[in-house]
Amino acid sequence: MKKVGVAILGLGVVGGGTYQILTNKREFFQRTQNVDITVECVLECNRERALALGVPEEKIMTNIAEVVCNPDVSIVIEVIGGVDAAREYVLAALNVGKTVVTSNKELFCKYSHELERVAKLHNAGLYFEASCVGGVPIIRTLLDGLQANEITSMMGIINGTTNYILTKMSEEGMSYEDALAEAQKLGYAEADPTADVEGFDAAYKLSILASLAFHTKVPFSKVFREGIAGITQEMITDAQKLGYCLKLLAIGKRTDAGIEVRVHPTLVRKEHPLASVNDSFNAVYITGDSVGEVMLYGRGAGALPTGSAIVSDIIYAATHSENRYSTFKNTAEADGDVKFPSDFMSAYCLRIRVPDKTGVLSKITALFAKNDISLVEVLQSAKEGDTAGITLITHETRELAVRNAVEKINALEFAQVQSVLRVVS
């Protein structure tokens, strides 16, 4: 039986869950995977936290040099988060030929090219299943399950915090502020929720997943990003009346014009499989040219779900003699031949405040027509004094055409566009 020693850098939520799985299921892995995995040491400044998890005192380290110089450690697990220290520690491990497993989506998104170069140089493995979508095995699916396919599109709910907030707003009528406060109270959102609610977290993950799906480097800088901080209860109510729900979607598409990568609040038709993904759950909906449509669904975060993904990488690394690296040229920037169009195609939902007078709607629809935008549906909401709200759903059209129409409408003395949301049918 193969013996494998691991070190865990950080015993926070994910590190603690990983330690729990490795220690509680050691005999199970021996029996089912023919591998004996032992935690040889942990890097943790909070000694009391480590002791509370059951880590023997002699295995608690406070210096990365003690970890990477340990001859019994062959796999280093990075779960400390952040970028600077994590990058330093991962490079230290790779430089001495130790395989690294990481859950750090920001680190991997921004520096995978550097980490992979060093890993190749020292014949070390670099695995990152837990960096995207928690316990959902999306990366293994792309690498090992869908090789027969050219992926044409992928879209998903890949941030549990925002999905929880939008679910509470949709199902319980909460305001954005109240839903965010509840998410923070339950530990779904950080004290500073910016990375989640402004779409950074989802954009990091989309950069990684799109690179794998389309076999070319998709840098974070190419991802169009909008967050949910501006979502109001009125926008959700209008969406529901029109047969949609509101989700923060990450969308990647390969088109004739290039690769689209975007993260933004999106109206999703209630019949679509992603519409039923609620609370902190995540899902990714993939379309391949051979398999058709596939959806993966599960917990997007948490100690044991994310720990499950980390342990799957540990077992994979322990049971495969050859290391796997990117299927594309992994550089800091995108290949010069790859285009990332900003004028992408989508349907749109616009909410406009106008005077409650005859002829107003015809003037607005005329502006749409001048920009080759046709309408699918129009909804008038409750009056407020002398004004009324109208909500319009368009056919698929170009992003820049909608922006131009919005600019022209806002230039009218009598109308104001209150919100613009993209739509998936």
Residue 187: the pLDDT is 86
The Cα 7–Cα 347 span in angstroms is 49
The Cα 128–Cα 108 span in angstroms is 8
Contacts of 71 (CB under 8 A, 6+ apart): none
State mean pLDDT over 402-422: 93
User: Known catalytic residue: 98?
Assistant: no
Residue 381: the pLDDT is 74
The Cα 231–Cα 422 span in angstroms is 13
Which pLDDT tens digit goes with each residue over 52-66? 999 999 999 999 999
The Cα 63–Cα 287 span in angstroms is 45
DSSP β-bridge partners for residue 401: none
Residue 389: the pLDDT is 86
Residue 290 pLDDT more than 70? yes
The pTM (predicted TM-score) of the whole model is 0.95
Which pLDDT tens digit goes with each residue over 91-108? 999 999 999 999 999 999
The Cα 118–Cα 130 span in angstroms is 21
Residue 186 pLDDT more than 90? no
b/e for 217-249, b at 16 or more Cβ within 10 A? bbbbebbbbbbbbebeeebbbbbeebebbbbbb
Confidence band for 213, pLDDT divided at 50, 70 and 90: very high
Instruction: Give phi and psi for 416, each to the nearest 5.
Output: -145, 120
Which pLDDT tens digit goes with each residue over 351-410? 999 887 777 888 898 999 999 999 999 888 767 777 888 899 999 999 999 999 999 999
The Cα 129–Cα 107 span in angstroms is 13
Considering the candidates 205, 222, 247, 253, report the single residue annotated as catalytic.
Answer: 205
Residue 305 pLDDT more than 70? yes
Residue 293 pLDDT more than 90? yes
More confident: 36 or 234: 36
The Cα 169–Cα 276 span in angstroms is 15
HSE (CB half, 13 Å, CA atoms) of 422? 25
DSSP 8-state class, residue 12? S
Q: Are 267 and 423 in contact (CB under 8 A)?
A: yes
The Cα 342–Cα 231 span in angstroms is 23
The Cα 331–Cα 114 span in angstroms is 8
Residue 24: the pLDDT is 97
Residue 77: the pLDDT is 98
Domains of the chain: 2-134 (3.40.50.720), 138-299 (3.30.360.10), 345-424 (3.30.70.260)
Closest CA to 236 of 182, 167, 156: 167
Residue 382: the pLDDT is 65
Average pLDDT over all residues of the chain: 95
Which pLDDT tens digit goes with each residue over 320-365? 989 999 999 999 999 999 999 999 999 999 999 988 777 788 889 8
Residue 43: the pLDDT is 98
DSSP β-bridge partners for residue 255: 258
State mean pLDDT over 13-25: 97
**% of the chain residues with pLDDT over 90:** 89
Number of helices followed by number of strands (H, E) in the chain:
15, 17
205 membership: H or E segment, kind and range: helix 200-214
Distances (CA, A) of 154 to 47, 76, 79, 307: 43, 31, 27, 25
